[in-house]
Amino acid sequence: MTATQAAPTNEIGRDRRRKEDQRLITGRTRWTDNIVLPGMVHLAMVRSPFAHAKILSVETSAAKAATNVVAVFTGADLADEQGSLPNAWPITPDQVTPPHPSVAVDRVAFAGEIVAIVVARSAAEARDAAELVDVDYEELPAALDLKEAAGDAVLAHPDLGTNKSALWVFNSAEAGTGGNVDEAISKGRGDGIVIEREYRQQRLIPAFMEPRSVVVDPTGEQVTMWSATQIPHILRFLLAAVLGIPESKVRVIAPDVGGGFGGKLQTTPEEFLAMVIARRLGKPVKYTETRSESLMAGHHGRDQWQKLTLSAEKDGTVTGLKVELLADLGAYVALIGGGVPVLGAFMFNAIYKFPSYHFQVQTVLTNKTWTDAYRGAGRPEATYAIERIMDELAAELGVDPIAIREKNWIKHEEFPFTTVAGLEYDSGNYEAATTQALENFGYDALRAEQTQRRESGDPVQLGIGVSTFTEMCGLAPSRVLGSLDYGAGGWEHAAVRMLPTGKVEALTGASAHGQGHETAFSQIVADRLGVAFEDVEVLHGDTAIAHKGLDTYGSRSLVVGGEALVRAVDKVIEKARPIAAHLLEASVDDLDFSGGRFTVRGTDAGMAIGEVALATFAAHNLPDGVEPSLDSDATYDPVNFNYPHGTHLCAVEIDTETGQVKMRKYTCVDDIGNVINPLIVSGQVHGGLVQGIAQALWEEAVYDDTGTLVSASFVDYLVPT
Amino acid sequence: MARIQLTVDGASVADDVEPRMLLVQYLREKVGKTGTVIGCDTSNCGACTVHLNGRSVKSCNVLAVQADGAEVTTVEGLAQDGELHPVQEAFRECHGLQCGFCTPGMIMQSIDLLNENPNPSEEEIRLGLEGNLCRCTGYHNIVRSVQHAAANGGVS
């Protein structure tokens, strides 16, 4: 009754093929939209075609009379019940936050906002009847352009009197983390260098492949929600908090979830409406969005104007950095909303030793789709801008862009290093990553070719891009998040259940949607507990099973959730130790634990952890006062972020006659610490690279001058193929 | 309503369907073949790709009535007697999937590609799969998966 397979000696660093894949490659999947419940009815949304309009009337009688329509709800019908969608991160005490009803009551603030909900026996009938809802609008002027909106020329929400939501400022002189940036810039204007630039971070759409879907099953007082979400635990808490349903009555399940990239780190109008309507009707309901709805109404990302002023001495040593951002919130302040650019506040100084720093962001309301986390959430935006301006500094001085970076970056012997933004970087070796990247890339040869092409006037020119980065990852330290007025902690929870057959269930509060947690977390448990990889089952994404957690975003699952799991495993071993000693008739102090076995030092006697689990289950012969259970849990809250870094190099051929861009070579060297599964990690890097390349070359959420999203299908929103 | 009769993954099925019902809706809602998924409204993403009489089609672009009398194979019909199809095995081996939502379509299109061209170049694979979108992998390991399947006996 012990582990059925030979325990491996070391699982960490193995290219394990994924446990998730069997169901995904055979189509035996558990997407939310697959769920069918007896008596289930379907929702279709009637959405505003206008960016900003008063709702004069909503005529529903034709829709109500349509075949198999069960009900039609308007904002007026649900006004008392729906509450306001939550913003969990008010970045300043005086942040202007418009109320955000799930279904608009008397005014719509972006094209795509829900104005009515049709419930029918099939999704097709619900959509047909949605066409019969007649909404009378009075169009209002729309605030669309970010810069113009920041000047309050047209108000996105007239009642608020301003589009300016919050001004968040960090100043190193006030924080005591550095000098006065205005003095540095003034000095630079005198006898050094000052570079001022403005960069645009275009609006992007996460464009996860699985459209969002939600199913709600009310059974008596209890209610279960399945949702294509990254955050089942946060969603459960907020459903309870906003709607006043006891949290203990709500179960949220994130079954197989088809990608997120931050786009499913949200509590959505559709989820709240499905919950309210299912409870009101007493029937299970389902809503699955179309792709156009997804692109139009799921939150967008990025969308900043970035003004940077960098000062340096004549030799290229940086002396100050001033960052002034405008960030487009869209029509409402989303769950993390204004916090996204604040995450960037800590990253503009990047890997460099700036003696002075000033950052400010003005978040701005407009009549466009709300924005929130997308792939890196504020931090890639910062990396883009600082690396662009470091290139400008190199160009100003006529030196190689690598050389200017090396002159200013933190040297590996200087870690741990407290930055001008107040973070303590624990480690880094920018020299090693860059040297390796240059070698792999063949940097010198490509530079020589670039020179040759320029001199010969070749119509196809070679461009070479250079970028370093670091990111604050492992979003966790609860105290730090608290100091930034973030509405939650950042710990993660894990539990380990020892089954009497020697199998192990590992529960994690992280909630995977493509990252391979079932595989990587199995490797961690197998390695630490000395059981077979195949004998570990990872359970996640269900608040009734993995009952406690803060979910998956911000590069946190492995570094926070994985460590919680390690600590839970260690507790299992410590609970097993006195039981093993008792059964082996040895002293606890004489036991060693290795490779999944307790052994009595100096003897052949020993027993496997699975045998201890069986004996504990039987509980016939336990030491006095010891509980008959090895099950353990742990909640881990790190004291700092972690700081992966890397150097990326890209060569592109640009046809100067046609503008055609062809990527010739891309090399990256990332230092990401201990790798649990290299196969999974390299896959994540590939995917991230292509999303970054797509931002550079193709993707943008484009609005016309009436506030209609033009790129509202995959015909126009150019996800790379 | 129109009466259709067809073979889905080797089993004969017959139903009355609305003339406007798409093949993908028929497969998911009437036959329970939820392995085939819907990712867009515009036949761009290819997540719904199945084989119709042995050739790949985007099943959101075919009416169920057009499949009357046809033989349809979905991702659920590939594995035989518990043995994965070589292309399924290749996707697992080469980590050609992450969230897995595009995977049914990717696998069905890859099989069609290999049926046409048993030894495709990298360029031919990328071209052959350009009607199928993936947001997670950056395609690198999907291309490797198809190459792996080709090198290991292809689709036979």
DSSP states of B142-155: HHHHHHHHHHTTTT
| Pairs of CB atoms within 8 A across A/B | 146
Check residue A1 and give its pLDDT: 34
If phi > 0 it is left, if psi is from -120 to 50 it is alpha, else beta; for residue A448 that is alpha
Interchain contact A514–B (C-beta under 8 A): yes
Q: Which residue in chain A has the smallest CA separation from B40?
A: A291
Q: For A181-198, what is the mean pLDDT?
A: 98
Cα distance between residue A110 and residue A331, in whole Å:
6
**CA A85-A91-A96 angle, 5° bins:** 60
* CB of A195 closer than 8 Å to CB of A396: yes
- pTM, to two decimals: 0.96
**Mean pLDDT (chain A, rounded):** 96
Cα distance between residue A709 and residue A298, in whole Å:
12
In tens, the pLDDT along A582-606 reads 999 999 999 999 999 999 999 999 9
Residues of A in contact with B100 (CB under 8 A): 20-21, 23-25, 29, 256, 258, 514
Place of tokens 């919950």: A275
Q: Residue A542: beta bridge partners?
A: A253
Check residue A21 and give its pLDDT: 98
Sheet holding A591-594, edge to edge: A591-594, A597-600, A606-608
CA distance to partner chain A, nearest, from residue B96 (Å)? 8
* CB of A544 closer than 8 Å to CB of A528: no
Check residue A6 and give its pLDDT: 46
Q: Tell me which of A442-451, A475-484, B100-109 is least confident.
A: A475-484
Q: For A244-262, what is the mean pLDDT?
A: 97
Q: Residues 130 to 149 of B: which have CB under 8 A from any A CB?
A: 130-141
**Residue B33 pLDDT exceeds 60:** yes
What confidence tier does A10 reach under pLDDT thresholds 50, 70, 90?
A: confident
Cα distance between residue A311 and residue A317, in whole Å:
9
Write the residue in A20, A291, A683 that is nearest to B40 by C-beta. A291
CA distance to partner chain A, nearest, from residue B33 (Å)? 8
Q: Residues 84 to 123 of B: which have CB under 8 A from any A CB?
A: 84, 88, 91-93, 95, 97-104, 107
Cβ separation A211–B78 shorter than 8 A: no
Check residue A476 and give its pLDDT: 86
Check residue A143 and give its pLDDT: 98
Interchain contact B76–A (C-beta under 8 A): yes
Check residue B154 and give its pLDDT: 74
Q: For A40-47, what is the mean pLDDT?
A: 98
A302 three-class SS: strand
**Residue A128 pLDDT exceeds 50:** yes
What confidence tier does A4 reach under pLDDT thresholds 50, 70, 90?
A: very low
CA distance to partner chain B, nearest, from residue A334 (Å)? 23
DSSP states of A562-602: IHHHHHHHHHHHHHHHHHHHHHTT--GGGEEEETTEEEETT
**Residue A7 pLDDT exceeds 60:** no
Q: Which two tokens stand for residue A648?
A: 């990326």
Residues of A in contact with B38 (CB under 8 A): 33, 211
Write the residue in A513, A686, A690 that is nearest to B99 by C-beta. A513
Q: Which residue in chain A has the smallest CA separation from B35?
A: A27
Check residue A8 and give its pLDDT: 47
Write the residue in B76, B97, B133 that is nearest to A27 by C-beta. B76
Judged on CB neighbours under 10 Å (0-12, 13-18, 19+), A257 is buried
Check residue B153 and give its pLDDT: 79
* CB of B85 closer than 8 Å to CB of B110: no
What confidence tier does A9 reach under pLDDT thresholds 50, 70, 90?
A: low
Check residue A626 and give its pLDDT: 96
Cα distance between residue A166 and residue A710, in whole Å:
29
Check residue A220 and give its pLDDT: 87
Contacts of A165 (CB under 8 A, 6+ apart): A95, A96, A97, A329, A333, A338, A363, A364, A365
User: b or e along A384-393 (b: 16 or more beta carbons within 10 Å of the residue's beta carbon)?
Assistant: bbbbebbbbb
Long-range Cβ contact pairs of A437-442 (< 8 A, separation 24 or more):
A437/A646, A437/A647, A437/A648, A437/A649, A437/A667, A437/A668, A437/A669, A438/A402, A438/A647, A438/A649, A440/A667, A440/A669, A441/A649, A441/A651, A441/A665, A441/A667, A442/A665
Check residue B156 and give its pLDDT: 63
Judged on CB neighbours under 10 Å (0-12, 13-18, 19+), A665 is middle
Cβ separation B138–A516 shorter than 8 A: no
Write the residue in B39, B131, B135 that is nearest to A211 by C-beta. B39
B98, B127, B132, B133: which to substitute to probe chain A, counting the most A Cβ within 10 Å? B98
User: Percentage of residues in chain A with pLDDT exceeding 90?
Assistant: 98
CA A298 and chain centroid, separation: 14
Dihedrals φ, ψ of A61, to 5°? -65, -40
The answer to ipTM > 0.90 is: yes
What confidence tier does A277 reach under pLDDT thresholds 50, 70, 90?
A: very high
What confidence tier does A567 reach under pLDDT thresholds 50, 70, 90?
A: very high
**Residue A3 pLDDT exceeds 50:** no
In tens, the pLDDT along A679-703 reads 999 999 999 999 999 999 999 999 9
Write the residue in B74, B133, B138 that is nearest to A714 by C-beta. B133
In tens, the pLDDT along A330-378 reads 999 999 999 999 999 999 999 999 999 999 999 999 999 999 999 999 9
- Kindly tell me the sign of the dihedral angle through the C-alpha atoms of A354, A358, A363, A364: negative
Dihedrals φ, ψ of A215, to 5°? -125, 135
In tens, the pLDDT along A475-508 reads 989 999 999 999 999 999 999 999 999 999 999 9
In tens, the pLDDT along A86-112 reads 999 999 999 999 999 999 999 999 999
CA A701 and chain centroid, separation: 19
- Residues, chain B, total? 156
* CB of A604 closer than 8 Å to CB of A572: no
